[in-house]
A and B are shown apart, each in its own frame.
Chain A
Amino acid sequence: AQTVTQSQPEMSVQEAETVTLSCTYDTSENNYYLFWYKQPPSRQMILVIRQEAYKQQNATENRFSVNFQKAAKSFSLKISDSQLGDTAMYFCAFMKNTGTASKLTFGTGTRLQVTL
């Protein structure tokens, strides 16, 4: 079974600053995906960024990037130039690679507040 741990229940960052959210996971699988999802007050889960475990290069999506350390089983999210709209719950998630979308295992989430 897989476990995902997010050790920061809450974080705060000022607008335009950079913040890093931490995530560690445990698995015996070698082929998997890792995701960061954002859940704003509207409650809809929105995919922020995805990392394939077999790719060494860290994924980036505009202001969002990850630091994927496979050996350490660490997957942190860096948000650059933070914006008020980034205020949300952020969930780290693991998915075994079965060739298609399958069960996601989520961490407990980090509540991010972006302030003026």
Chain B
Amino acid sequence: KAGVTQTPRYLIKTRGQQVTLSCSPISGHRSVSWYQQTPGQGLQFLFEYFSETQRNKGNFPGRFSGRQFSNSRSEMNVSTLELGDSALYLCASSLAGATEAFFGQGTRLTVV
């Protein structure tokens, strides 16, 4: 059974650009969550989607957005990139009714 797949693994963008990251959950998982990991702020929750609906949102500016498709794949978008957006972005998926979240290997975003 394939795990959570995040693409791309590495990304370099320029300040002011926008970026889209993708997450394919484990087959059958309908919940997808996103986290930002930085040395300074640690792991912070961005948002969670379930059956194409945003169910929970963290304390991030509106430049951070996401969506989930009918096949449960999720994308997150960051517009008007800032240097401080450089981070490892982790996606996690889980089964409905389960408490365990399975993480992908993350996308390392560098903003220059």
Given A47-B100, A100-B96, A100-B99, are A105 and B45 neighbors across the interface (CB < 8 Å)? yes
Minimum CB–CB distance from A68 to chain B (whole Å) comes to 16
Say whether B66 faces chain A, with CB atoms less than 8 Å apart: no
Complex partner residue of A103 from B56, B90, B104, CB under 8 angstroms:
B56
Residue from B90, B101, B104, B106 within 8 A of A101 (CB atoms): B101
- What secondary structure prevails in chain A residues at the interface with B? loop
B:57-103 near A, CB below 8 Å = 58, 88, 90, 92, 94-103
- Quick one: which of A43, A45, A97, A101 has the most chain B CB within 10 A? A101
CA distance A23 to B99 in the complex (A): 20
A109 touches B42 (CB 8 A): yes
Contact between chains at A50 and B97 (CB < 8 Å)? no
Check: A75 CB closer than 8 A to any chain B CB: no
The answer to whether B22 has its CB under 8 Å from any CB of chain A is: no
Q: How large is the interface on B (under 10, 10 to 19, 20 to 34, 35 or more residues)?
A: 20 to 34
How many residue pairs between the two chains, A and B, have CB atoms under 8 Å in the bound complex? 62
Chain A positions 101 through 114: 1 when the CB is less than 8 Å from some CB of chain B, otherwise 0? 11111111100000
Specify which chain A residues have a CB less than 8 angstroms from the CB of B24 in the assembled complex. Answer: none
CB of B43 closer than 8 Å to a CB of A: yes
Q: Which of B16-75 touch A at CB < 8 Å?
A: 31, 33, 35, 42-43, 45, 48, 50, 55-56, 58
Which chain A residues (63-78) contact chain B, with CB distance < 8 Å?
A: none
**Besides the contacts A104-B45, A105-B45, what 10 more A-B pairs have beta carbons closer than 8 Å?**
A44-B103, A46-B103, A99-B97, A100-B31, A101-B33, A101-B95, A103-B48, A104-B101, A106-B42, A107-B42
A residues with a Cβ closer than 8 A to B are 33, 37, 42-47, 50, 91, 95, 97, 99-109
8 pairs of A and B residues whose beta carbons are closest in the complex: A101-B94, A45-B103, A106-B43, A44-B105, A103-B45, A108-B42, A101-B101, A43-B106
